Amino acid sequence: MAYPYSHPSEVRILSKYFGDPEARTLKGWEARGGYQGLRKALGMERGDVVNEVKTSGLRGRGGAGFPTGVKWSFMPKDSGKPHFLLCNADESEPGTFKDRELMRWTPHQLIEGCLIGAYAIQASHAYIYIRGEFFEPAQILARAIEEAYAAGYAGKDVIGSGVTLDITLHLGAGAYICGEETGLMNSLEGRRGEPRVKPPFPAVSGAFAKPTTINNVETLCTVPHILTNGGAWYRQWGTEKSTGTKLFCVSGHIARPGNYEMPLGFNFKEFLYDVCGGIPNDRKLKAVIPGGSSVPIMAADEIDVPMDYEGFVAAGTMLGAGSVIVMDETTDIIRQVGRMVDFYSHESCGQCTPCREGTTWASKIYRRIRAGFGTEDDLQTLLDISDNMTGKTICVLSDSCAAPIVSSIQKFRDEYLAVVERSEPVVAEIA
Amino acid sequence: MSVNDKNPGFAGDTGEFPNLTEADIRGTAYVGTRPLDGGHASVAGTMPYQLATRGPAEGPIFTGPYEERLAKVISRYPDRQAALLPALHIAHEVRGYVSPEAMEEVAERLQLPPAYVRGVTTFYTMYNLQPLGKYLIQVCTNISCNLCGGEDVLHAFLEATGTEMGEVSADGLYTVIEVECLGACGFPTAVQINERYFENVKPADVPTILEQLR
């Protein structure tokens, strides 16, 4: 059974077995070359495993894009304390749906990555923090973890190496902020998922006040392939600074939504129009968000850029988690940005005043504008609030709320003005 | 097309893949259901907890297999407090919501102050604090689904069940709420009904879905 819409420009490494139910089972995964990376890693020094990942140039796929090997090398050597590896499977950035597919189709790929990662950072216990809504992926992963334990890939004396690697699946309970790494650690510890002030950084004092590394699902899924084939092999795709392949989740007004595994550096315009089939119903593109709701919006004339960490930054936005949200010419930008602001207002944990108040004010202003009671001054007020929400809080949730506000006012100011100058209130439109 | 033929995980128009059945894609036979005692300790804390079929409505929660499961969960963490979310999941699974009494029982089991447990419980949106309909219908109206008509689907559910947002329907079966991104943005509109996702839902599918739940 082929995964629908495979495109010749794709390079399917992580997503090769999407759509293949056999790959979910331990037997099926072993038959597809699974657990070779773990065997190889356990035969290497821990430092060499880290170096192999450094060589590959793999960067964190959760949004920040920090080099994974470098992150691992921050873990203290011989600290005498237990270390922990946390896998961030709290995928909840609007527009993102790659981790869910990775977990439901290839659970063993993630387990193998967690085991290798835990070994590399001298952890004997890895926790996979999966968001509470993902019952189905959690059940698939649970079954796979039980299989891995039964086959001796996890637990004491992993495949005869003498190394202990435990793995525990932990279900969240519905909070976007738990995808922030320190919020996730608090949630794992049985606290409210409120982000912590850094420093101390997780590598010094993370989960249970022990040295901790947190990696995204996609990052860890890539690790077994790097170990099996070598770091240099992975560099054959992508660019010098953005190596390898990345899953892009495409949603919104697009002919073929879904997950596409593309070599980094691929042209974004070609991606949207050729690989994903363009905008349906003969409509024109209006705007696109390239990395999930937290990154600045791009206007239609800005999309001729390479899809890599640097390319999107040069275009004034970010690669983020690779969550491409496409909006056609019929889209009401104010309504959609307002909806994103509502989301951040709902998900703010409330610790920091600029975020707790700012997201709520912004949400109210958007509702007022849409109801027809907006004024031109509201635009400046939104920009002022956004300024106060950027770089002034413990985590970046409020920055994420400000990004679409500021970029949409910059790029679609005329549309805002047309609405605030509208003479009659349109109360019925309030969502 | 019946709801079960709908494509619950692939991109695009399901009409192009007429041969894929629900079981093929979801692997129901493979996923199966988890044992009440939670199976292996490594995964004991991850049962679905918004189930239509629930445990006893009276008496202590942590007895029999549920007690076994809690013990397994506690064994996986350096301290008891870390078992708080999984313990609340169990309470939720058995009773369908987390009552003040349930919070007290969890607090006692984990040796935590009841007020602390309440503070944590109320932080998370998935712990329902009062009884809901047998089926909790959560409709995503966040950006990707919204672009493709998520709000229309929400209104269709509200209309078909005759409820306001968050209310229990007169027959006790349904509660419809709006939910933030479910992480299925390529398959709009994403709707979660108890532990299960329904994807590519259009307003016209709503009566069929409700009929199947009955």
Task: Report chain A's mean pLDDT, rounded to a whole number.
Answer: 93
pLDDT score for A424: 64
Span A402-414, average pLDDT:
96
Span A346-372, average pLDDT:
95
The percent of residues in chain A predicted with pLDDT above 70, rounded, is 97
Contacts of B137 in chain A (CB under 8 A): none
pLDDT score for B18: 39
pLDDT score for A423: 55
pLDDT score for B93: 93
Tens digits of residue pLDDT in B105-121: 999 999 999 999 999 99
* Contacts with A, B 69-88, CB within 8 Å: 76-79, 81-86, 88
Pairwise CA distance, residues A177 & A187, whole Å: 10
**Is B121 strand, coil or helix?**
helix
Contacts of B112 in chain A (CB under 8 A): 190
Tens digits of residue pLDDT in A197-215: 999 999 999 999 999 999 9
Q: What are the residues facing A252 on neighbouring strands? A: A326
The percent of residues in chain B predicted with pLDDT above 90, rounded, is 63
The percent of residues in chain B predicted with pLDDT above 70, rounded, is 85
Q: Nearest chain B Cα to A323, which residue?
A: B185
Owner of token pair 């976007």: A176
Q: Do the Cβ atoms of B126 and A133 come within 8 Å?
A: yes
Number of other residues whose CB lies within 10 A of the CB of residue B59: 8
Q: Nearest chain B Cα to A256, which residue?
A: B12
Half-sphere exposure (Cβ direction) of A143: Cα atoms closer than 13 Å: 23
Tens digits of residue pLDDT in A10-55: 999 999 988 787 888 999 999 999 999 999 999 999 999 999 999 9
Q: Does B35 touch chain A (CB under 8 A)?
A: no
pLDDT score for B13: 33
Which of B183, B180, B167, B169 minimizes the C-alpha distance to B214?
B169
Question: Is pLDDT above 70 for B175?
Answer: yes
Q: Do the Cβ atoms of A259 and B45 come within 8 Å?
A: no
Distance from CA of A185 to the nearest CA of B (A): 10
Question: Is pLDDT above 90 for A422?
Answer: no
Q: What are the residues facing A328 on neighbouring strands? A: A285
Please give the radius of gyration of chain A, using alpha carbons only, rounded to the nearest integer. 22
Which of A138, A145, A140, A143 minimizes the C-alpha distance to A170?
A138
Q: Which residue has the higher pLDDT, A221 or B23?
A: A221
